[in-house]
Amino acid sequence: MGMVGKAVCNIYGNIIRYGLVESEEMKGKWKYCKVNWVDDKEYRDSIAHMQKMRNDGKDYTRHMYRVDELKLVNIDRQIKKLRILKNEKVNGKLEEADRVN
């Protein structure tokens, strides 16, 4: 199954990342994908912090992901489920910590 153009997600620590697959290639028996992540500042900041802490001059940014590290996303279904969750949480009231800026 071709992945190019598909919406996917990946979890890095506590960060849920969403993006579109730009390209794919086979390496041995595994397919790898390059993903154009959206609103990915939190991940980039996390990688920059890791690079600063390790201070070894390496770039830890991932550019290719093995297909088993990516999950296909049905965008409309995800939005519907998140809206249901938002409405059910604390009788429809979001806690201050859950508000998105």
What is the DSSP code (8-state) at residue 39? S
pTM: 0.80
Query: Could you list the pLDDT tens digit for every one of the 101 residues in the chain?
Result: 799 999 999 999 999 999 999 999 999 999 999 999 999 999 999 999 999 999 998 989 999 999 999 999 999 999 999 888 888 775 556 665 566 65
